[in-house]
Amino acid sequence: MLLRRSVLVLVLTAALLPFAAQPANAVTPGTQVDLTGALSPPANLSTSGDFATDTFSDPWDFSNAEDIIPIVGAGVANADAVDLSGGVLTAATRNYAELRLLMNWSQTSSVLPWGHDGWKRPIDGGRYTQMTMRIRAEADMSFAIRWWNAAGQEGLIGFDLLATPGFQNVHFDLTNRSNYKAAGAAAVWGGHIVRFELFRGIALAGGDPAINVQLDWVRLHRADASQTPPAGVPLPVVITPNEEGGADYATVERGNPWDFAGMDDVNLTNDVAFLSTASGDLTGASVANDPFIGLALGPPLNTDRYHRLTVDVCYNGGFSLGGGAGQGMVGRMAWMPAGTWTETQDFIVFPGCHRMSIDMSTTPPGAIHDQNSSIVSGWRGQRPTRLRFDLNEDPGARAFTLREIRLADDAAFNSSYPITFADAAGAANAKADIYVTTTRGSYSGTQIASNISVVGGVNTFNWNGTDVAG
């Protein structure tokens, strides 16, 4: 989609393709899903030239929790507290604190990535070569920009961050080899970057005091783009189609979506208590380390069609991946294809409310499965008789609210499709050009609309399947 001079390409699957069932010996459980290609538009198709804006339609301006998860242990590590308010991130850091702008949760073990995970949304190191941030520290400290590429190689640019009464702009060329002085952390910037963070070293005054570090914004940008956030440019956001897909199994096949407006959406539970749908959502508490909610099924679940999973869930408490009470923040899905449960690999779950979308049809097919799964089939080609959501692996008590689960097919249409979009920046006199492609990461799609006047709020273009010439 082009707003003024920026194209944001949307991917619309025009048809559903049949997939044959995979034999059990063709898949290997516990492998990592394939790295997703980077979304990297050329300069003439980008309003800001900034990774976060181009990839997420959401710059790292710390106006929302998607920019960095404001939870100790999740978005920020080795800190006493973290706050996200007024467009500023404030972290009470300790020595070796990490401010995780792009986190690869698969770095130590295989998990199913979702959201802003770096394995799902990597940085194109060949495109975005400059880093500029507006930062403030309340005491002098050693500081660094730290990153890892898809091969696991680390790069670190260290410098002294000195206390200032106000914010200061700090800029580095990530390709400048003279910036890399740490032994064992001098990888060449380029390729797919899957983890990108800011790192506090030691307090220059000694000891390990809590020191507030504040971020106003961070830009990871092209060399020819502005170092500071550009003003007055549109910010295109595609609302539909999106990764949640099209028609939902529970809505279409059983005539009752899994929206947890009533207990008829649930058919099996374990290690949960205090269940209620009085609020219009399913509220309760997990009470041991195997809590799950079984989903009421209707007609046979065709996994060749329905493979786009979305879970909207909220958790109380803190974050940790350990095995003790108050920890175990991993979820999974499980299904019964032949009288025996099989399950997915873990996916990370966070305190607060999050809407997680995962494609159950992974590449390779076996990457959907946990390494200890007893049935290894991949998702497609199955007709499960049971399906459940495993909330977490916290052996303690943890309150939750389950708001919705969707299992959808690919977005498709026969005669027309309503493409909806918005300009998140509200730029004056914005115009939109719309392109489509069936190749993820490609910016050589077909133009289907031109010079559409953009209004505030949601805009809709009803596409009839033809190009701009009709």
249-408: which CATH architecture?
Sandwich (2.60)
Residue pair 248/280 in contact by the 8 Å Cβ criterion: no
CA atoms in the 13 A half-sphere facing the CB of 180 = 17
Helix or strand (DSSP H, E) at 146: strand 141-149
**Number of C-beta neighbours around residue 138 at 10 A:** 17
Range 48-221 has CATH code 2.30.33.40:
no
- Give the pLDDT confidence score for residue 1 in this predicted structure: 53
**What's the DSSP call for residue 54?**
H
Tokens of 407: 């299992």
- Give the pLDDT confidence score for residue 192 in this predicted structure: 98
75 to each of 100, 115, 186, 194, 305, how far by Cα in Å?
A: 5, 13, 24, 15, 35
Residue pair 19/380 in contact by the 8 Å Cβ criterion: yes
Residue pair 295/267 in contact by the 8 Å Cβ criterion: yes
What does the domain layout of the chain look like in residue ranges? 2-13+236-242+412-463, 48-221, 249-408
Closest CA to 133 of 161, 152, 153: 161
Model-wide pTM > 0.95? no
> What does the alpha-carbon distance between residue 468 and residue 146 come to, in Å, rounded to a whole number?
44
- Give the pLDDT confidence score for residue 108 in this predicted structure: 82
> What does the alpha-carbon distance between residue 356 and residue 35 come to, in Å, rounded to a whole number?
18
- Give the pLDDT confidence score for residue 375 in this predicted structure: 87
- Give the pLDDT confidence score for residue 188 in this predicted structure: 98
Tokens of 137: 């520290």
Identical fold for domains 48-221 and 249-408, yes or no, is yes
- Give the pLDDT confidence score for residue 404 in this predicted structure: 98
CA atoms in the 13 A half-sphere facing the CB of 185 = 13
Continuous H helices in 57-96: none
For the chain, which ranges sit under pLDDT 50? 2-26
Verify cis geometry, omega within 30 degrees of 0, for the bond prior to 364.
Answer: yes
